[in-house]
Amino acid sequence: MTEQAGIVTEDAANGADAEAAKPEPPAVAEAEAAKPEPQAVVEAEPVKPEPPAVAAVDVLKPAPPPAAAADMPLLRIEAVVKKFGAFRAVDRLSLDIRSGEFFALLGPSGCGKTTLLRMLAGFETPDEGRILLDGKDIAQVLPHQRPVNMMFQSYALFPHLSVRDNIAFGLKRAGMARAEIAARVAEMVALVKLEGLEKRKPDQLSGGQKQRVALARSLARRPQVLLLDEPLAALDKKLRESTQLELMELQRRLGMTFIIVTHDQEEAMTVAGRIGVMDAGRLEQVATPRELYEAPASRWIAEFVGDVNLFDGEVETREDRRLVIATRDAGSIVVAEPRQPLTKTTVCIAIRPEKVKLSRRGPASDAVHSHAINRLEGVVTDVGYLGGLTSYKVKLDTGAVLRSSMANTARLDIDAYSPGQRVVAWFTPDDGVVLEQ
């Protein structure tokens, strides 16, 4: 990190590396990732400042469908508005989703993410705007005529039908031949590992099994886009985590486009290649999980995604791509200048807790560039041992509280700090993100 390339590009490069590490990335993806100035795929919201977006690399796409033109996304949402009375559940939202993507809509409850998903399924009709699937406007098309299927949060399995008949329901409606239906159902049952349960009714299944039936049923018609509405919310934590991995594996294997709605940021980050964060009917940021976490577009995003330390302050000096910011609570902090020039001098610095390292005497001078280090001194007030991590609260001498989380890399507690202990909290200029709003 001797070249201070700026946090955004650095992270972008890391993101691309991570993406490229996934199996069989098409050549296009690498080429795109290698571009010095990657173009933004998503025009999130013309009014809002553009997030420092990197091209989302479609590594997961095995073969683009012939209808999708080279630069035409599979699904294009154009300035869509949905009103319930005076309430704008979705407010002039635009979004492009490429074929083969695993896209997550993340947001707090009531942010409009489910309404957006329901418009894609056809259960709600947009008041304004267009929804283009493969270039055709489907905004007014009825649900049963869309090549899109949904997996419901409640699963919505037909209680009077067996597992087999639930999965076959959509195939029968499509007028498929009997033998073909039987073959497809068997394939789906094997895909979600439900062999032997075909004759059971939904009431005779566990929560995890129901979830699988719902997934198999929604995949059986081989939709162009699979919509998943909080698909794992009803499962317990362990099962949810293993199912997340299975969903990813499944999506990769089928090469299908998945759009998942979730309020669980860990879930979104685990499964999705790209995440759209929604608030109050608008997209706040569309980015890869890493970008979202390391380069949040706004203070709101920084706080919504993960834990963060925030310090308000004024820009004092700017030189050598470094900003010195005088904060109210933590003195002067040096951070890397963001790629996009600042328009205001009143800013906010966001530092993730795991970027804040604690030590008894501060960093050894040869370990990092000591002239550019941020050192804050204080007293440990709270220690939360979480197994893999320990989270600390440090009351700084300036009065502010700083959160730090440190990986417990050693089994013995030589690295641990206890309440009341004086420590030096330090982080590099690249660890902080400057936010204007």
Partner 1 sequence: MSARAIFTRPARLAAIAPYVWMALFFLVPFGFVLKIALSQTAIAQPPYLPVFDLTAGAGAIKAAFAALSLDNFRLLVSDDLYIFSYLRSLVVALVSTSILLLIGYPIAYGMARLPQRWQAIAMMLVIIPFWTSFLIRIYAWINILQHDGLLNRILLALHLVASPLVWLSTDSAMYLGIVYSYLPFMILPLYAVLAKMDPALLEAAGDLGAEPRSAFWLVTFPLSLPGVAAGVLLCFIPIVGEFVIPDLLAGSDSLMIGQTLWLEFFTNKDWPVASAAAVVLLALLVAPLVFYDRLQRRQLESNH
Binding site for partner 1 (CB under 8 A): 121-123, 142-144, 148-150, 152, 154, 156-160, 169-170, 173-174, 201, 203, 217-218, 221
- Judged by beta carbon, residue 45 or residue 229, the one nearer partner 1 is 229
d(CA 192, CA 205): 14
d(CA 353, CA 330): 15
- Judged by beta carbon, residue 117 or residue 297, the one nearer partner 1 is 117
Q: How, if at all, do strands 331-336 and 322-327 pair? A: antiparallel
Q: How far is the CB of 202 from partner 1 (least distance, A)?
A: 10
Q: How far is the CB of 121 from partner 1 (least distance, A)?
A: 6
Q: How far is the CB of 143 from partner 1 (least distance, A)?
A: 4
Check if the beta carbon of residue 29 is closer than 8 Å to that of residue 18: no
- Judged by beta carbon, residue 19 or residue 134, the one nearer partner 1 is 134
Q: How far is the CB of 206 from partner 1 (least distance, A)?
A: 14
Q: How far is the CB of 205 from partner 1 (least distance, A)?
A: 13
- Judged by beta carbon, residue 173 or residue 328, the one nearer partner 1 is 173
Q: Which of 243, 77, 213, 242 is nearest to 152 (CA)?
A: 213
- Judged by beta carbon, residue 82 or residue 221, the one nearer partner 1 is 221
- Judged by beta carbon, residue 152 or residue 300, the one nearer partner 1 is 152
Sole residue written with tokens 């330090």: 426
Check if the beta carbon of residue 363 is closer than 8 Å to that of residue 357: yes
Phi, psi dihedral angles at 380 (to 5 degrees): -70, 130
Q: How far is the CB of 24 from partner 1 (least distance, A)?
A: 32
Q: How far is the CB of 329 from partner 1 (least distance, A)?
A: 48
Q: How far is the CB of 86 from partner 1 (least distance, A)?
A: 17
Q: How far is the CB of 85 from partner 1 (least distance, A)?
A: 13
- Judged by beta carbon, residue 57 or residue 157, the one nearer partner 1 is 157
Please list, in sequence order, all residues whose beta carbon lies within 8 angstroms of the beta carbon of residue 257, skipping any fewer than 6 positions away.
74, 75, 97, 98, 99, 100, 101, 102, 103, 224, 225, 226
Please list, in sequence order, all residues whose beta carbon lies within 8 angstroms of the beta carbon of residue 227, skipping any fewer than 6 positions away.
117, 120, 121, 148, 149, 150, 151, 259, 261
Please list, in sequence order, all residues whose beta carbon lies within 8 angstroms of the beta carbon of residue 389, skipping any fewer than 6 positions away.
354, 405, 406, 407, 408
Write out the H or E segment, with its range, that includes residue 299: helix 299-304
DSSP letter string, 309-368: EEEEEEEEEEETTEEEEEETTTEEEEEEPPSSPPS-SEEEEEE-GGG-EEESS---TTTT
Nearest 10 degrees: Cα torsion 72, 75, 79, 83? 170
Q: How far is the CB of 151 from partner 1 (least distance, A)?
A: 9
- Judged by beta carbon, residue 134 or residue 337, the one nearer partner 1 is 134
- Judged by beta carbon, residue 1 or residue 174, the one nearer partner 1 is 174
- Judged by beta carbon, residue 42 or residue 168, the one nearer partner 1 is 168
d(CA 339, CA 295): 11
Check if the beta carbon of residue 99 is closer than 8 Å to that of residue 61: yes
